[in-house]
Structure formats: C-alpha cells, structure tokens
Structure 1
Amino acid sequence: MAMEESNSQSGWKWLCRQFAEEVMAPHVRRCDEERAFPVLVHERAAAEGILNAPFPEEMGGGGISCAEFTEGVAELSAVCPAMTWTIVFNRGALHPVLNAGTPEQKDLFVMQLLKLNGYAALGLTEPENGSNLLAAQTRAIKTDSGWLLNGAKCMSGNGTVADVFLILANTVVNSRKIGLSFFAVPRESPGVIVSQDIEKAAFRCLPTPSVAFQDVALEPINLIGRAGDGEALLHELLATIRIGGAACGTGLVTALLRDALTWVGERRVYPDDRMDTLSHVQLTLGRLYVELCGARKLLRDAASLADQGLPFGKESSMAKYAATELAVRASNEILQLYGWRGIAADYGVEKRWRDARALTIFEGSSEIQLLNVFREMRRTAASEEGL
C-alpha cells in the first residue's frame, strides 16, 4: 500500500511539474505585467484534471490526498505562486461546505460548481479588522424567510470571477448575537457588489477585489452548518489553507535555488573564477537548502496528520511560517547574487521576491502563525508530556 501511494504521489507530482513548465510558464510574465487572470491556463487545468483534483471523487474531483496536494502546489508554485493560487483556491474556499454542509448544500455549492469549472471565493478579511477575523462587522440577521446580510469584505481571492462567496458573518437571532457563521452567497444575489481588482505589488494575476453586501436576502440553505458554529469552522479552514501557503513557499524556494545553481555555475566574477567557486556563495546556497529541507519536513508532517484525520493546526502554522519566511530570505539573498540582473524582469528573480513577501501576509501573517504556535507550545508545556 505504501508503495502504491508513493507511486501515485510521484505521478501526480510529475503531472503538475510538466503542466507548470509547458502550460503555465509561457503566460507568467504577461499575466503578471497585465494583472490578467490566466484564463487559458485554467482551461487546460480543467481539461487535464488539475483544476478540481483536490476534491473527493464522488463530488467530481480527483480525490488526491493532502500529501499529493502539497506536492502539486509546490511544483506549480515553482513556476508561479499567484497563478497556482487561482487554480487551487476553490479547495480552501469551499472547505466549510465540505466539512459542515448538508448533502443538498454539497450538491448545490460544490458539485454543481465543479461541473461547470466555476469558482468560489472567501470573504474573511474586512478593511478595519485585519488579522482579527473574529471581529467581523459583516452581519447576518435572521428573518422569517432566512437571513439578511450586510457588510463588506476585502482581499477576496478569485473574487472577480467567483460564482459563489463563502462569507464569515456575525449572526443575529431575535436581536441577540449568537456568534459567527458561514454563508454561501451566490454572486448573482441582489445586493452583492464586487469591485474591480486592486493593484498590488505581488500575486498580480490573482484577483483580490472588495465585495459589499447590501440587504442581501438569503434562504435557510445558504447557512453552512449551524448558526454560531463559524469560529470552529474558521479554525479548520485556516489550518487547511495554510498547508497550501506552506507548499507555495517551498515551491518558490526550490525554483530560486534551482535557477541560482545554474546562474552561479555560469557566471564569472573574475576572468577565471565562476561564482560557484566562491565560499560565501556556497555557504549561502548550502544554508538555504538546509532550511528548505526543514520546511519540507514540517509541511509533510502537517499533510500526513491531515490525511490521517488528526489535528494539524499547530503543524500547519509551523509549516507556513517556516516556508514563507524562508521564501523571503532566500529571494532576498539570491537576488543579491544576481546583482542588477536580480531586479530585471527578464530573469524572474524580482517576481519571486515580490511574491515571497506576499506569502508572509496572505492566509494569516507570520506573526499570527507564531501566536498560534505559542499557544500550542504553552499547552504542551503544561501537560504531563511537557515540551
């Protein structure tokens, strides 16, 4: 069985590597410069079974494991993290439905969406709340016929192309707040207003608009799980998408090191000295590779726990922190090795440098990951097992 799983994972990894190099790579620079959603890439991803691969087979997906998912995300991110996120974002956005939805909701919001190769977007972050997602001002009030939603979200990944939004809102029943809840909000619902994409330094082909909700009338089926269960669902959702963020980081660093080895092997700084003969270059790249191997190990641990159905929140936070902070350090140090060419668009290092910085903010900042780890560390220290 272990050999079969290994072969399956290796095949999936190779498929994603080939897709990234042959299909994604020719569109990366144009989509980044034009801030264009990669439509043609998505059409090929759908045709080759990559777009919906992270979903269960019974729902129309590919049924890949979390370990396979991380391998694929890393391979795709080695070519372009932003384009990768546009492809895999559905899995994270629809996690509340997969985890707590009824069969009818799974059919309506997942299976029907996958059949059409549609898109889902998350509405978690608000303009004034930042990382404090629990302080959501967006509000859903219980009515005789369902719910009335009002509020606004920002940085909604894939928001400009989304067919449905998964919205975190404070819930009010009989004039009493009962906590956070998730709602599936179809884009065509009256009162849903999607802004244009914002201009940003990184992840330019991933649209991240603001979305406003003005007296949006929702039916009972739009509430995912029970009213007030949103906080628990949020923690599970964040743990899941942080595994994807960690995989993006490891893929980006892998590509940086791979290209840097070629660069220092060809580049001469003196008439007879290649860069890869210089001790400080060897030390820099060797250290970064050690750190990459450590980040990969943390990522594998988190994915393994997820596949076993065990808690993995601490592990996913550790993996995302390690991988994304490493991506920033590696891109900064390797850019320096390229000299002026490091900031030239032709070499691709500056794009990875920009994207790496965004990874430490998206899906929970590095500071939030350390706070998560600290809380778990304190619990462990107080237990019989200890640190």
Structure 2
Amino acid sequence: MEETRSRSEWQRTFRTFAEEVMAPHVRRCDEERAFPTAIHERAAAEGILNAAFPEELGGSGLSCTEFGQVIGELSAVCPGMTWTLVFNRGALHPVVAAGTPEQKELFVTRLLKDNGYAALGLTEPENGSNLLAATTRAVRTDSGWLLNGGKCMSGNGTVADVFVVLANTVVDNRKRGLSFFAVPRDSPGVTVGEDIEKAAFRCLPTPSVTFRDVALEPISLIGRAGDGEILLNELLATIRIGGAACGTGIVAAMLKDALAWVGERRVYPDDRLDTLSHVRLTLGRLYVELCAARELLERATALADRGLPFGKESSMAKYYATELAVRASNEILQLYGWRGIAADHGVEKRWRDARALTIFEGSSEIQLLNVFREMRRAATGEGGL
C-alpha cells in the first residue's frame, strides 16, 4: 500500500473493496445478522480499516471530504457493513479532538494497532433524541470516577473493546454538566447485552450496555469535567457526515441498478420501461436530487477540512440525503413491482436501510430543528437569509 494516495485513488480503492470483497457477503450477513468479521480482516490487511484517523495516531489521514466519498462508495454496496467498518472514527472522535497524548496513545493508537473496536454510549432508552438529559452519572471519587447508568443502540457494542460514554458529572455533590469517559469493556460492572433484532443495518450489532458501580481511573475522563456538551456537538456534526454520505451511496446504487432494470424490463410486448415518460422523469429527477445531496455534503466536508464550523451544513446534508434515500427507494421499488419486495434484487434491503438512516445519528426532525435554530440566527444578523 502506498503511504499517500490521491482523492480519486482512495475512492477507487474503496469502490473495488466494496464490489469485490463486501458484495458477495451482503445477503448472508443481512439474513444471518452476522458481524462481517472476514470483511474486517481484509480491510485491516489492506490498510483501509481505520484510514480516516490522523497518521500520527495510526491511520492514513483521510480528509473529511475523502472520508465522506469513501463512505458513499462502501454504502452503495451495504450500509450496515459500512457502519461496522467506519464506526471507530466516530466513536473515538472525543478522544481525537480533546484527549491528552497519553489518552490518544492508550485509547486510539493501541486500539487501531490491535484492530480493536470502540463504541459510543450516547442514547438512553427513555431519553431518545434528548442526549442532554442523560441519566448516566459519573461521580468523582478519591481514586477517580464511579459510573452508573445504561445506554442502548451502541453500534459495534458487542465487539467493542472500549466504550466512549456520555454521562452527567458530579463533583463534590455538585453537578458539573456532561462529560465523556473512555470505559474499557473489561472493567468490572460493565455488562453488554445481546444484539437487538432490527429491520435494517442487521449486520451492525447495536446492544444495550449497563454500567453498575464501574470504577474508572482519572485518565478515563476525556477533556475537562463538564465540557461534554461542546464535544458532543462536534461529535454529532462529524457523524452526520457519515449519515449523509451513506444516503448518497444508497441513492447512487439504486439509480444505477434501476437504469439497467428499466432498460431490460418490458411492460408490453414492444415497450421497455425506459421508453415511458413517467419512468424517465422519475429517474431524471432523482439524479438531480442526488447531485444536490452531494453538493450539500461537499459543502459540509469542505468546511470541516478547513477547520470552520459545519454543524448547520452537516445537518442539512444529513437531512436531505437520508430523506432522499427514503423517497428514491420508495419510487424505485415501485418500478420493480413485486420483484422490488423480493430479496433477489436487493431493492428491499436498500429500502429498509434508507428508512433507518432518517433515525440513526440524529433523526430528520432533529436535523430540521438544528437548521431552524441557525436560520433564525441568520435572519436576525446583518446578512439575513
């Protein structure tokens, strides 16, 4: 593997990996709800498993723009497998962004060297999208912290070596706000449940995790106590990029397959589907919308790569791309007729995965609320809307 690659070379590398390594296992992993272990072993061997991490931490230093593109390439084949492959970058973002050199070495560099996994502990069963209302608590003790609580829908949780957990912090009997903690899986008091059965992203394990009197050393606190909300906003903006890229990958794959289908399928003896005006109009419109979704994504990633705020842009990109994926999969499934709901063509799987994307990593409603807040701020400023 070359140490440096161009943007187009990375894109080709991931596209080839998706088509040659991932594609033959998509249906089996979906039906069996199987974590794609063999896929990960190949990704690690080819040096692409954790490519989005900075080079000094053991990655290949992909930019945010490049990372978004390669997620799109992988998601065109299987969003669930993609999530398992790239989840480390999102889960470890608080450590990469705010960790000390010692924490980065312990929780990132060593983990990547061992091809290990990290999982996020954000969502709680009763709080849903309101992550700020976390009931998981970390109380400072003489020797560190004592963590109690529970999280659900923890991506890659069944295979995780470390959990990056959002908790309300208590110091000297006073609440200090939210904080992130790196919690080793083998810590006494950590219990990882079974993977839940889901309609989509079936090969991505998403168990519940409980923390009962888990004693943590001081090094487990990421950043300063109470700074978790700032880190959370940065984290959410980052993982929304992945959701948007995944949406564009689904739409691109469905359009490519649909073009071949309508060119072959005959509805009458002499009429192929692609001769019908409403079919051409539908696919043409969806392609325009795909291009628009990609532009929104590129705008967000370009800002991120320049170190500028990109929260609003990532919310717009995530909302538009994932809602488009749902709409496109609905319309294209209809073109396939009964074959669209059969497993053979893969349309129904992409339909299921697209629907889940409007909930994962922040629901569509949350994205619109984020955009509304920024829109109102802009409307009262000098530049206006």
**TM-score under structure 1 length normalisation:** 0.98
| 2-structure distance, mates of 1:337, 1:260 | 8
Secondary structure of 1:314 counterpart: helix
The amino acid across from 2:169 in the alignment is T
Q: Secondary structure at the residue paired with 2:352?
A: helix
Q: How does 1:48-197 map to 2 (within 5 A)?
A: 48-197=46-195
Q: 1:322 aligns with which of 313, 320, 329?
A: 320
1:331 positional shift = 0.3
1:213 to 188, 206, 211: 211
4+ residue runs of structure 1 moved beyond 4 angstroms? none
2:163, 2:225 → 1: CA distance?
17
Partner of 1:28: 26
SS at match of 1:347: coil
Matched, 1:222 2:220: yes
User: What is the deviation of 1:312?
Assistant: 0.2
Alignment-mate amino acid for residue 198 of structure 2: K
Q: Residue deviations 1:249-308, cap 9 Å, x none?
A: 000000000000000000000001000000010011011111100000000000000000
Paired residue for 1:350, among 345, 348, 351? 348
Per-residue CA deviations over 1:18-44 (Å, capped at 9, x if unaligned) read 000000001100000000000000000
Which position in structure 1 is the counterpart of 2:275?
A: 277
Is there any run of 5+ residues in structure 1 with no aligned partner, and where? none
Paired residue for 1:260, among 258, 261, 266?
Answer: 258
Give me the whole-angstrom Cα distance separating, in 2, the residues matched to 1:316 and 1:257.
Answer: 24
RMSD: 0.7
Other structure's SS at 2:127 match:
coil
Match of 1:232 in 2: 230
Q: CA deviation at 1:109?
A: 0.1
Q: What's the % identity of the aligned pairs? A: 82
Counterpart secondary structure, 1:169: strand
Number of residues of Structure 1 aligned to a counterpart in Structure 2: 382
The letter of the residue matching 2:339 is R
Q: What is the Cα deviation at residue 50 of structure 1?
A: 1.2
**Separation of aligned partners in 1, 2:7 and 2:249:** 16
**1:8: how far off?**
0.8
SS of 1:345 mapped into structure 2: coil
Equivalent residue for 2:384, pick from 369, 373, 386: 386
Give me the whole-angstrom Cα distance separating, in 1, the residues matched to 2:40 and 2:175: 41
- Corresponding letter in the other structure for 2:121: G
Distance in 1 separating the partners of 2:121 and 2:57 = 23
Measure how far apart 1:187 and its partner are. 0.1
Q: 1:201 aligns with which of 194, 199, 202?
A: 199
1:46 offset after TM fit, Å? 0.6
Offset, 1:227 = 0.2
SS in 2 for 1:288: helix
* Correspondence list, 1:354-373, <5 A: 354-373=352-371
Q: Distance in 1 between matches of 2:17 and 2:49?
A: 11
Q: What secondary structure does 1:125 align onto?
A: coil
Q: Aligned partners of 2:44, 2:61: CA distance in 1, in Å?
A: 15
| SS of residue in 1 equivalent to 2:6 | helix
Deviations 1:308-364 (A, max 9, x none): 000000000000000000000000000000000000001000000000000000000
